[in-house]
Structure 1
Amino acid sequence: MPEFWSNLGSTVWYVLTLIIFISYLFALFSIIGDVLRDRSLSGGLKAVWVICLVFFPLLTALVYLIVRGGGMAERAAAQAQQNKAAADDYIRSVAGSPSDEIARAKALLDAGTISQPEYDKLKAKALS
């Protein structure tokens, strides 16, 4: 029985250590991405941050999050907004407007490909 509890405790500590390490890696890569993405930093300062992250990773990560954490969140939000705007523009360009859909349906009606009731359905769908 005591062997079970000893192994259970070791397993719990192993899992906890693994979770902390993975969280640290996520933070580290997020910091590196933010340093390289930040346009207000010069190349030299970017190099200093990355070198410090290599040689003093935990201390540098803590300092970076304390000193530049607010800007990090703002840059991430701005990037997300730009990505959303680009996706919305792409969707609009691919989807086309209702008038384009009606014009295509009218061309199909004039060519005799679809009947008048089918054209009316397509027109109602485009306008909805």
Structure 2
Amino acid sequence: MDGYVNLAYDYPVLGAFWTVMWIFLWVMWIFLLFRIIVDIFRDDSMSGWAKTGWLVFTIVLPFLGVFVYVIVRGKDMGRREQEHAKAQLDETNRYIRETLGTTGPASAAEQLAKLSEIRARGDISDEEFRRAKEKILH
């Protein structure tokens, strides 16, 4: 073992701190860059040329492009994210209603009709039917 061997105690704590700090900042930078690229594509108010310009700006000059984008258009990024989340929730709710076959809460008449069908099939007894009917009517 004539060569120099790096041991764990040869790496100072402050050096480890700075390494972790730079890795953290790098990950945050990548996250921010992708978040801005998604926001560029999500914004329906921009034309195709504007989207292309912002995309080229953020790819060719990433630091300057991202900082300028956040300064110029950052205020509405949260609003666009909320609109997207609300649209997804509305679409999910629409799909669930469509799949279940209902568009709103069933009326008492519809509930009684379904209950009568269940009793006619023999799935519930007359006593169970009576209790369920009382629940619906009260």
Short-chain TM bin = 0.7 to 0.9
Mark the CA change 1:63 to 1:127 in structure 2 (over 3 Å): closer, same or farther: farther
Query: What are the ranges of 5 or more consecutive residues in structure 1 without an aligned counterpart?
Result: none
Residue 117 of structure 2 corresponds to 107
Residue in 1 aligned with 2:55?
50
5 Å matches for 1:88-107?
88-93=93-98, 94=100, 96=102, 97-99=105-107, 100-107=110-117
Mind listing any 5+ residue stretches in structure 2 that lack a counterpart? 1-7
State the 1:126 CA deviation. Answer: 6.8
CA deviation profile, 1:78-123 (whole Å, cap 9, x unmatched): 1122222223333444274344554333201012221123334555
Structure 1 length normalisation: TM-score? 0.78
Structure 1's 118 and 90: CA in aligned 2 closer, same or farther, altered over 3 A? Answer: farther
Residue equivalent to 1:72: 77
Identity among equivalent pairs (%): 30
Instruction: Mark the CA change 1:118 to 1:64 in structure 2 (over 3 Å): closer, same or farther.
Output: same
Q: Please report the RMSD computed on the Cα atoms of aligned residues, expressed in angstroms.
A: 2.7
Distance 2:74 2:92 in 1: 27
Q: Which has the higher helix share?
A: 1
2:88 to 83, 88, 100: 83
Matched, 1:116 2:116: no
RCO higher in 1 or 2 (8 Å CA, sep ≥ 6)? Answer: 1
Alpha-carbon distance, 1:59 to partner: 0.9
- Taking a change above 3 Å as real, the CA distance of residues 101 and 24 of structure 1, as seen in their structure-2 partners, is farther
Specify the SS of the correspondent of 1:41.
coil
Counterparts in 2 of 1:50 and 1:114: CA distance versus 1, 3 Å: same
CA distance 1:126–1:15, shift in 2 (3 Å):
farther
Structure with greater Cα Rg = 2
Q: TM-score, normalised by structure 2?
A: 0.73
Write the distance in 2 (CA, Å) between the matches of 1:4 and 1:127.
Answer: 78
